[in-house]
Amino acid sequence: MKVCMLLGFLAVAAAPFSLHAADEASLLAEVDAQALERHARAIIMHRRDGGSPGENAAVDYVVETLRAENIDVEVHLFPGYVSNPGRCSLRVEGAEPREPTCLTQALAAPTAPGGASGELVYVASGTPSDYENVDVEGKVVLVNALPLPWGVKDAEDRGAVGAVFISYSELIQELTVSPIWGTPTHENYEELPSIPSVNINKPDGDALREALASAPVTVVMETEVDTGWKMLKLAVATIESEKDPDGFVLVGGHIDGWHYGAVDEGASNAAMVEMARIFHRHRGELERSLKVAWWPAHSNGRYAGSAWYVDHAWLELRDHALAYVNIDGVGQMGASVYRSSNTASMDELASAVLRDVASVDGRAGRPGRNSDQGFYGVGMPLLQFSHGRVDPGGRYWFWHTTEDTFDKIDFGILAGDTKLYVAALSRLLTNAIPPIRLAAATQELTERLEERKSWAGNHFDLSSALAKADDLHRAAQDLDRRLASYSGASTADVVRRMVRVIRPVLRVTYERNGPYHQDPALQVPTLPGLAPLETLSKHPRGSDLYRFTQVYLVRERNRLEDSLDQAIREARALSRVLGENAR
């Protein structure tokens, strides 16, 4: 048996956690499809742009419904920077003039009076390689992709004066093109897009591509975007545990939506109301509290509501939050594919719930940089289930369009999806030691670090970091084994210490900007701070860029090793507490 010399832990396989709450079946039986439909109708009747009267009315319904059952709900009012797309015109000039229907995007730049015009240049999917040997300066790019922040920025950086994006279907999707997570700060507001962008449907896009193949095409874009400050209303319900009222699991989902947003996100809001009501009735059985938050301005404020909450509840989250559970897009008619998006420490829980409740072996995936998942800086494990359709573009066909209406919700499916969340929450809330695997998080970190080492070759030394990661992983395996059979005193303190082991691990695995500032709303790999190792060897050794990258990587290695040292210290402290409480 291998011994971890640094911490003195025996590296043995962990016994499985008890994943079933004793009364889980009765909790699932309380999910009421008729109540879900009633809540959904009341929410979806409102057009819910972030900061609008409709969004506020939906929040008011949630608050009044829960307070009628004596559930504590706190309402926060605060200013947020939001944006609503306005008028959009795209004129195609030439021998066959036309004016395809278009939409501009939230937080896009509006055109100056008279519009923006230029020769149209097709750049395929708009990846960096698609721009090679293509001159787009002073021109308008035609991109066969959805309008997303990196697509607009790539066009802007290359001197384009505008961008026309092509949808994957006959519908045109509403989107947000800012790369800034939440309301901008004085340091990043200049990263807001500076060129106008529009989105057209696939048939019109195909026609433009065909026209370009035979002759030059000039377009004129005219867009209006209403961007500025609006008061936002955020409701947070608390179902307090008698055993540990301060500790909690946070559930969140956005209450705003494009147009009347039924599946995205009225159905999820209804499920959240039901979850709050169910766990309130069983609050005497909870080992820790539950908080449920309805985030405003997710869509037209780029996660403005949840980002505000992270900032203003940061210390409480650091000290007392066990995990974040996000809900988005449930209840889709025709849904057939299950999967989970979660941090590694939640893999076992996610798989068990999908197997036990839905009788499927769902596909687990790592979280992207989306869906109000801005809690990585705090170091909170994440869980989100997805039960969706398989449509072109990888999304349900009515996603972010005017077609996302009440009839798109299947309330039988919504009840089943709600049960997934109820089951997961019951296991997080009613187990004295929650089913969160420390060793799964440390294993992922170690594996990614090994991968980065292979990228580095002889260009950068990661041996010290890897040694610490290995020691921490063996310690985490031993802690998981001991926690699985723990029945001693001071359970709440043990759980908080358990969370303190994992926090620094998650911060470096999923965050780059540190605990207090949000990373951009752009896709990043795990261990993002060491991502430049992938290209370091491609720079001439000794060149300026090679050495600049080395300077950056040294700092990121320091951040990584500091985080590993923190986790090891917390692991030592938890080990001592487990030993003392077992006596």
The residue-averaged pLDDT of 295-317 equals 98
Closest CA to 97 of 200, 181, 219, 194: 219
pLDDT of 317 > 80? The answer is: yes
The residue-averaged pLDDT of 3-18 equals 37
Q: What is the pLDDT of residue 171?
A: 96
Q: What is the pLDDT of residue 11?
A: 34
For residue 393, name the pLDDT band (cuts at 50, 70, 90): low
For CA atoms 507, 513, 516, 519, the dihedral sign is: negative
Backbone phi and psi for residue 76, each to the nearest 5 degrees, phi listed first: -105, 135
What's the whole-model pTM score?
Answer: 0.93
Q: What angle do CA 445, 446, 452 make, to 5 degrees?
A: 90
Q: What is the pLDDT of residue 8?
A: 34
Query: What token pair was written down for 305?
Result: 């509501």
CA distance 123 to 195: 17
Q: What is the pLDDT of residue 263?
A: 97
For residue 12, name the pLDDT band (cuts at 50, 70, 90): very low
- The rounded percent of the chain whose pLDDT value lies above 70 is 95
For residue 365, name the pLDDT band (cuts at 50, 70, 90): confident
Which sequence spans correspond to the domains of the chain? 3-15+437-581, 24-81+229-425, 83-227
Q: Which of 18-22, 214-218, 543-547 has the lowest mean pLDDT?
A: 18-22
Query: Amino acid identity, residue 185?
Result: T
CA distance 413 to 396: 15
Q: What is the 3-state secondary structure (H, E, C) of 370-435?
A: CCCCCCCCCCCCEEEEEEECCCHHHCCCCCCCCCCCHHHECHHHHHHHHHHHHHHHHHHHHCCCCC
Give Cα 576 to chain centroid, integer Å: 35
CA distance 366 to 370: 12
For residue 582, name the pLDDT band (cuts at 50, 70, 90): low
First-to-final CA distance of the chain: 25
Q: What is the pLDDT of residue 368?
A: 80
pLDDT of 10 > 70? The answer is: no
Q: What is the pLDDT of residue 16?
A: 41
CA distance 146 to 171: 12
Q: Which CATH architecture fits 83-227?
A: 3-Layer(bba) Sandwich (3.50)
The residue-averaged pLDDT of 489-495 equals 90
The residue-averaged pLDDT of 343-371 equals 90
Q: How long, in residues, is the chain? A: 583
Give Cα 306 to chain centroid, integer Å: 10
Q: What is the pLDDT of residue 369?
A: 83
Q: Is 225 helix (H, G, I), strand (E, B) or coil?
A: strand
Q: What is the pLDDT of residue 583?
A: 59
pLDDT of 312 > 70? The answer is: yes
For residue 401, name the pLDDT band (cuts at 50, 70, 90): very high
pLDDT of 391 > 80? The answer is: no
For residue 9, name the pLDDT band (cuts at 50, 70, 90): very low
* DSSP states along 23-78: THHHHHHT--HHHHHHHHHHHHTS---TTSHHHHHHHHHHHHHHHTTT-EEEEEEE
Q: What is the pLDDT of residue 19?
A: 46
The 8-class DSSP code of residue 152 comes to H
The residue-averaged pLDDT of 440-453 equals 97
CA distance 526 to 570: 23
CA distance 554 to 538: 18
Phi-psi region of 83 (alpha: psi -120 to 50; beta: other; left: phi over 0): beta
Backbone phi and psi for residue 114, each to the nearest 5 degrees, phi listed first: 95, -15
Helices (H) and strands (E) in the chain — how many of each? 15, 15
CA distance 177 to 180: 9
Do domains 24-81+229-425 and 83-227 share one topology? The answer is no
For residue 61, name the pLDDT band (cuts at 50, 70, 90): very high
Between 4 and 343, the higher pLDDT residue: 343
CA distance 499 to 314: 15
For residue 493, name the pLDDT band (cuts at 50, 70, 90): very high
Q: Going by DSSP bridges, is the β-strand pair 3-4/9-10 parallel, antiparallel, or unpaired? A: antiparallel
pLDDT of 106 > 70? The answer is: yes
Q: Is the Cβ–Cβ distance between 572 and 580 less than 8 Å? A: no
Please give the CATH number for the structural domain made up of 24-81+229-425. Answer: 3.40.630.10
Query: Amino acid identity, residue 580?
Result: E
The residue-averaged pLDDT of 54-83 equals 98
CA distance 48 to 33: 23
Q: Is 147 helix (H, G, I), strand (E, B) or coil?
A: coil
Average pLDDT, the chain: 93
Between 430 and 368, the higher pLDDT residue: 430
pLDDT of 13 > 50? The answer is: no
Q: What is the pLDDT of residue 15?
A: 40
